[in-house]
A and B are shown apart, each in its own frame.
Chain A
Amino acid sequence: MYKRLPRVRRRWQLGLGAAAALLAAAGLQFFDANPATSQSLFLTAYSAGSDPGLDPADGVWKNAVPVQVPLTAQAGTYAAGGGSIPTVSAKALHYQGKLYVRVEWADTTKDESTTKVENFSDAVAVEFPAKSAASVPALCMGQADAGVNIWQWRADSQAGIKDPVDVYAGALVDMYPTKDTLFYTARAAGNPYANPDQGPVQTLVSQTFGTLTIANVQDVRGQGAWNNGNWAVVFTRSYAGADPSQAAFADGATTDMAFAVWNGSEGDRNGRKSVSAFVRLTISGTDLGAGGGDNTLAIALAVALLGGTVVIGAGLAISGYREKAAR
């Protein structure tokens, strides 16, 4: 649904617009953030007191402050549908040179089998700019001078790739002349996606639409768990990326980060998914305390930003209403 813009912009409306811009800029300044790289959401990875491991239910996550990241239908070079998952709850920690990201979202259906042609898997991905990125990458799959590094966890991969005869107990097959890998064509062609030993997470690199490719080194680990209509997935990787096409992290550094969720029962795959905008991830030197670290600054700013936006929005809405009534 598109809101109709008032036909005539009055001077005070322009004033409100300018105020909004200033307020946003002030916020960005406050955080010493480059407006080109930063959006209005901030996630901080505090230093964990113990190794969070891969278990999404590990107690160490309890104290980490989540950021609610809104998702929308993906609308990149071409629209591709999706949008059935409205938000993810993201947390981040680091421990001894490793970044941990935990993503949780509500999904009432646990879609982890892709044996049937009509079934698609639940999945989640986090995206970072490549270490080599010369500018801010395009959110959707990056661009030539600024690639992205995507870590994707898939429910069907975690459940394992199976032959249909192993899924359907009563399946009747006369015989297979051979079960040699050579005849699992995609596997023989070296497609990691068809490799049953790949594990649930793949790390991929991309430099624009249609160029998504598996990274040479698979060094991201992860694990998901579905409980009571919620998926929780943990990713982890060492700070250093295996090569410049992958993301790199450091204590005290900040980077951009985006999320995508696929809902299998909605037919989500490839571009058909729910995606976020870039979120600013800070790898803080502060220890994760019982209170979840010092996030007051961010919260104060967020409240200020929100307040400002509400005032501006209300102002514009009233003016629009008045104009409509006058017509």
Chain B
Amino acid sequence: MPPVYNWQLGRQMDYRYPNGGAQRQFAAVFNTNRCIACQTCTMACKSTWTFSPGQELMWWNNVETKPYGGFPRHWDVKILDLQEKANPGAQVWNATKKDPKTAPYGTFEGKTIFETADGVNQVVTGYIPTEDEWKGPNLHEDTATAFSKNGVSLPEHSGWFFYLQRICNHCTYPACLAACPRNAIYKRPEDGIVLIDQNRCRGYRKCTEACPYKKSMYRPSTRTSEKCIGCYPRVEGTDPLTEGLPMETRCMTACIGKIRLQGLVQVGADGQWLEDRQNPLYYLVHVAKVALPLYPQFGTQPNVYYIPPRWVPRDYLRQMFGPGVDDAIAAYTAPSRETLAVLQLFRATQQIVFSYKVEPGPKSGEVKVGNQVRELFNDTVVGFDSKNREIVRVSVDEPVYERPAKVTMNTI
């Protein structure tokens, strides 16, 4: 296996194929702090792509409740367990071996799912969730860890749960792709979207077994596996609705909690993001470091990044998002002027924002965060499309309109 560089792990790792495929990469930031689990994203995906016979148990987009929930049931606990058994006591990070660019979270000193596999029965460590485990998503999972009699307070709630929104991560080193013996899975160079060729697939379910996020799903009515397609016609701008401009996916644009922002980032031959300071995703992930990959230790270099929930015990979050959690929560709890401005871009437009600029505004107030008094400024963030044309303009202060006391019919 050729060595590839995984910047999320701060080290090289073994992967079945050499890198160098994608020049642009589909990526997204999900703000878990804002999600209300309304499942509008889930239904947007389902009603677009998976409404036919054989797709009943398929939720390419799902929102599950942590720590008890999971779709398929207990997927993450099961993989973590397999990994722990394969490398007992050694699945650890060295958070001090850090580099702002090449190892922003430290160095993972354990083994990835590619490195624990035996190479005979599996190229990637994994398992096939049974049909039963795909059934009844969300049942009984909206449960806090404890009943907190005296209420809860930050920084960590004593009884807690949170929502985790999941789609395919269109991984830089896809486990599904590495496991497919038929070369039926490919990663597109133009946007890094990972697709299963429905003509070549013969339903071996090696991808279902290998994907640690369990986002490759089996469809019995065609005996093939299917997965999130990153709504590629929208991302390409070939969907008629897009009028030729790259547009965010269905699940992103449907989000009424405004927790999602998706776009395309530029990547180099070694899989690292190329510096693109004014790309909002680049800013959030590499500059503000407020958004983190989900279970980076699996080793696939996933491309959906999460702003971790502020109220959740840190050891749980570190297991899920790596050692960058404390800095990310700090950066979100007391955001810089720029971070606050960029966060306004979430769900401000359906078009993909390729770059932004911040126009400074006047001081508009003060807010107490912990023991600190912070000043707020009504800055304006401006988003630009792929052709550098302005597509959106949002201010930090939400404009307020006062209705006249006497309203006519049908006024909102």
Give Cα A193 to B225, complex, Å. Answer: 12
The answer to whether B130 touches A161 (Cβ under 8 A) is no
Whether, in the assembled complex, A78 has its beta carbon less than 8 Å from a beta carbon of chain B, the answer is: yes
The answer to whether A164 touches B52 (Cβ under 8 A) is no
Q: Mark A129-166, 1 if CB is under 8 A from B, else 0.
A: 00000000000000000000000000010000111110
Given A81, A117, A164, which contacts B221 in the complex, CB threshold below 8 Å?
Answer: A164
- Chain A residues with CB under 8 Å of B220's CB are 114-117, 161-164, 167
Question: Given contacts A117-B129, A186-B222, A209-B181, is CB(A163)–CB(B199) below 8 Å?
Answer: no
CB distance from A204 to the nearest CB of B (A): 10
Question: Given contacts A79-B120, A117-B131, A269-B204, is CB(A163)–CB(B54) below 8 Å?
Answer: yes
Which of these binds chain B: A170-178, A236-244, A298-306? A170-178
The answer to whether A186 touches B199 (Cβ under 8 A) is yes
Question: Given contacts A186-B222, A194-B224, is CB(A117)–CB(B130) below 8 Å?
Answer: yes
- Chain A residues with CB under 8 Å of B134's CB are 117
Give Cα A114 to B56, complex, Å. Answer: 15
- Chain A residues with CB under 8 Å of B121's CB are 80-81, 272
Give Cα A196 to B343, complex, Å. Answer: 50
Given B56, B128, B129, B198, which contacts A164 in the complex, CB threshold below 8 Å?
Answer: B56
Q: Which residue of A lies closest to B121 (CB)?
A: A81
CB distance from B173 to the nearest CB of A (A): 18
Whether, in the assembled complex, B208 has its beta carbon less than 8 Å from a beta carbon of chain A, the answer is: yes
CB distance from A190 to the nearest CB of B (A): 6
Q: Which residue of B lies closest to A113 (CB)?
A: B220
- Chain A residues with CB under 8 Å of B120's CB are 78-81
Question: Given contacts A191-B198, A194-B222, is CB(A116)–CB(B203) below 8 Å?
Answer: no
- Chain B residues with CB under 8 Å of A190's CB are 199
- Chain B residues with CB under 8 Å of A118's CB are 128-131
Give Cα A188 to B197, complex, Å. Answer: 12
CB distance from B302 to the nearest CB of A (A): 22
Give Cα A193 to B202, complex, Å. Answer: 6
Q: Which residue of B lies closest to A116 (CB)?
A: B131
Interface size of B in residues (CB-CB distance below 8 Å): 37
Chain A interface, >50% SS class: loop
- Chain A residues with CB under 8 Å of B52's CB are 176, 178-179, 183-184
8 Å CB interface, B22-70 against A: 51-54, 56
Given A116, A164, A191, A270, which contacts B206 in the complex, CB threshold below 8 Å?
Answer: A270
The answer to whether B119 touches A78 (Cβ under 8 A) is yes
Whether, in the assembled complex, B223 has its beta carbon less than 8 Å from a beta carbon of chain A, the answer is: yes
- Chain A residues with CB under 8 Å of B56's CB are 164-165, 171, 173
Q: Mark B186-223, 1 if CB is under 8 A from A, else 0.
A: 00000000000111111111101000000001111111
Q: Mark A47-90, 1 if CB is under 8 A from B, else 0.
A: 00000000000000000000000000000001111000000000
Whether, in the assembled complex, B379 has its beta carbon less than 8 Å from a beta carbon of chain A, the answer is: no
Whether, in the assembled complex, A314 has its beta carbon less than 8 Å from a beta carbon of chain B, the answer is: no
Give Cα A293 to B224, complex, Å. Answer: 45
Give Cα A167 to B220, complex, Å. Answer: 10
CB distance from A151 to the nearest CB of B (A): 15
The answer to whether A193 touches B221 (Cβ under 8 A) is no
Give Cα A272 to B222, complex, Å. Answer: 21
The answer to whether A114 touches B223 (Cβ under 8 A) is yes
Whether, in the assembled complex, B85 has its beta carbon less than 8 Å from a beta carbon of chain A, the answer is: no
The answer to whether A185 touches B226 (Cβ under 8 A) is yes
Whether, in the assembled complex, B78 has its beta carbon less than 8 Å from a beta carbon of chain A, the answer is: no
Give Cα A185 to B55, complex, Å. Answer: 11
- Chain A residues with CB under 8 Å of B217's CB are 117
- Chain A residues with CB under 8 Å of B131's CB are 115-118
8 Å CB interface, B125-148 against A: 128-131, 134
- Chain A residues with CB under 8 Å of B218's CB are 117
Given B129, B130, B224, which contacts A186 in the complex, CB threshold below 8 Å?
Answer: B224
Question: Given contacts A164-B54, A190-B199, A191-B198, is CB(A185)–CB(B222) below 8 Å?
Answer: yes
Give Cα A165 to B221, complex, Å. Answer: 10
8 Å CB interface, A294-318 against B: none
- Chain A residues with CB under 8 Å of B205's CB are 117, 120, 269
Whether, in the assembled complex, B183 has its beta carbon less than 8 Å from a beta carbon of chain A, the answer is: yes
- Chain A residues with CB under 8 Å of B226's CB are 185
- Chain A residues with CB under 8 Å of B182's CB are 210, 212, 270
8 Å CB interface, A173-231 against B: 173, 176-179, 183-191, 193-194, 209-210, 212
- Chain A residues with CB under 8 Å of B53's CB are 163-165, 176, 179, 184
8 Å CB interface, A2-59 against B: none
Q: Which residue of B lies closest to A187 (CB)?
A: B222
The answer to whether B223 touches A156 (Cβ under 8 A) is yes
Question: Given contacts A179-B53, A183-B52, is CB(A191)–CB(B119) below 8 Å?
Answer: no
**Residue contacts A-B, CB under 8 angstroms, 9 given:** A78-B119, A163-B54, A173-B56, A177-B51, A184-B222, A189-B199, A194-B222, A271-B181, A272-B121
Q: A118-B131, A163-B220, A164-B220 are in contact. List 10 more A-B contacts (CB 8 A).
A: A81-B121, A117-B205, A118-B128, A120-B205, A165-B56, A176-B51, A177-B51, A185-B219, A185-B222, A194-B198
A-B pairs with lowest CB-CB distance, top 4: A194-B222, A186-B222, A183-B52, A163-B53
